[in-house]
Structure formats: structure tokens, C-alpha cells
Copies of this chain bind each other. A is one copy, B any other.
Amino acid sequence: MSKFTLLIHCPDTSGIIASVTSFFYKHKGNIIYIDQYVDVENKIFFMRLECEFAHLIKIESLKNEFAEAIGKPYEMSWHIYTAGMKPNMALFVSRYDHCLYDILGRYRSGELDVNIPIIISNHNDLEYIAKSFDIPFYHIPVVKGEKDKAEKRQLELLKKENIDLIVLARYMQIISSRMIKAYPNRIINIHHSFLPAFAGAKPYHFAYKRGVKIIGATCHYVTKELDAGPIIEQDITRISHSHSVKDLILKGRDLEKIVLARGIKLHIDRKTLVYNNKTIVFT
């Protein structure tokens, strides 16, 4: 048996769903999931579809046929992900360990269908965790004036390991536009506030100062504009006047872990599509 996930976006017109589903029906596929969304304002059609086949399929010839029969006529951007194509995910960390522990725990228990070939950090504080999980750890210090050199080293490693997805697990450095260009909508960050509130540094300090009654965390793709990329997932927790900044940081940790983990899983499971600086999240 074989199975794949198809992600599509294209100009909206009638007949797309009928054409796509009929195509796979003719190829004896069984559609086990379909969800679609139309951005009415911009007239864009989005679809996610999972298809199963009782027999082994020749994926390359199917893709070619799909491109000809459906992709071109509808001017589609589309991608077929076959089951078993595990993405290679690199983790970037600094000194906070909670997101790292959380991701590696999920990875070890089989919750994340992914490979983690490398962990990169500008500090070596967390090397011992990488070791205890048997994952290669690269300490690449980011020194003032030599940031460019550090980034080249990072890019070499990412290329060498065929990295598909970069996760900034509380990596306390700004990502350059070169890196962003190399991994468009493939760098996931966790920000410790309910964006757009408290973008930038020290959100818990500003949340404390403003006297908010909820704090949040936001998982988003990294774009050039700081903390302004497409949001994948957000969640919040209640606080009160009696919580100090330290309390907020502690409470926020659990949020950060869970929101980041959800965002990673959505991406890995091919449930996200980015358009117009927003993330369509299929559920």
C-alpha cells in the first residue's frame, strides 16, 4: 500500500475539487482526507488531501500526469509528500533547555515523524543533553563582528545534512535574511508572547509592566520582519497581579514548549500552507 499528502493552492475557480478527486479516483486512489479553503478576498483556493492506494504506485509518473492534467490547467502550486519522506530537522538552541528537552522527549517517544541530525548552539551549555540523546551537537559561537562567519558554518552544516526544517528552540539570535531566503517558510520560531503584543525582547517584563491578565506564546515562521512572520499556533495561560516576572517566565515555559511542539507537528504532518503572510492550518 502507498499513501501521500497533497497540498495545493491556485486561483479560485469552479471544478477544482471535482477535477482533483476524479483524477485520483481514476488512478484507483482512495481519498481519506480532504479539506479546502478559499481566500475570498484574494480569490485563492487552498486544499489538503490525503490519498491511499491499495497497490504500489509509480509516484514519479503519477506526479507527471497530475502536473499535465491538473497542475498546469489550474495554474497550481502543488506538492505531493509521500508517507515515509521524513523531514530532516535541525534544532537551534542557546541556553534555555526546556524546549530542547521537550522536543527530544517527543522525538524519542516517536511522536514526531522526523529525523534530527544536528543540534546547533551559540553556547555549549546544552551539549550534555544532546549527548544523552545521541545527537551530534555543534557549538558555533556568534561573536560580535564575526556573525557572518558563524552563519556560513551553520549553512554548510545545514546543507551537508540535507536539512528541510530549522526549529529555533529559544535560540536567542536574530536570523539573517540570507538564512531566511535559503529556508523560506521552513524556519520555525517560538516567541514568548501572544503576538502581536510584546514583539521583540523581554515580553514577560513588558507583560508584567502592563498588568495583563493572560500571557501567551506564539509559534511562527521566521520572515525578515522580526516577530511578524505567519503565525502557526498560539496559546495562553492566565496570570494575576501576584505573579512576578520570574513567575511569568516559569509559567511561560510550559506554554512555549507546547505551542512550539504543536507548531512543529503541524508542519511535519504537512498541515500548513503559507500565503500572504498567514498560515492556513488544516486540522
The 5 closest A-B pairs by CB, nearest first: A211-B278, A197-B197, A101-B105, A18-B25, A18-B21
Q: In the complex, A274→B166 CA distance in Å?
A: 43
Contact A214 B241 (CB under 8 A): no
Contact B211 A234 (CB under 8 A): no
Residues of B within 8 A of A277 (CB): 211
Q: In the complex, A191→B215 CA distance in Å?
A: 17
Nearest opposing residue in chain B for A49, CB measure: B17
Q: In the complex, A133→B258 CA distance in Å?
A: 22
Contact B211 A231 (CB under 8 A): yes
User: Knowing A211-B231, A231-B210, A278-B211 touch, does A244 contact B40 (C-beta < 8 A)?
Assistant: yes
Residues of B within 8 A of A212 (CB): 194-196, 231, 234
User: Knowing A37-B241, A97-B109 touch, does A211 contact B194 (C-beta < 8 A)?
Assistant: no
Contact A38 B34 (CB under 8 A): no
Contact B194 A242 (CB under 8 A): no
Q: How many copies of the chain does the oligomer comprise? A: 4
Cβ-based interface call for A73 (8 A): no
Cβ-based interface call for A145 (8 A): no
Complex A-B: 20 CB contacts under 8 Å: A17-B25, A17-B34, A18-B21, A18-B22, A18-B24, A21-B22, A31-B36, A132-B133, A194-B194, A194-B212, A194-B216, A195-B197, A195-B212, A197-B197, A213-B232, A213-B281, A214-B235, A236-B236, A241-B279, A254-B258
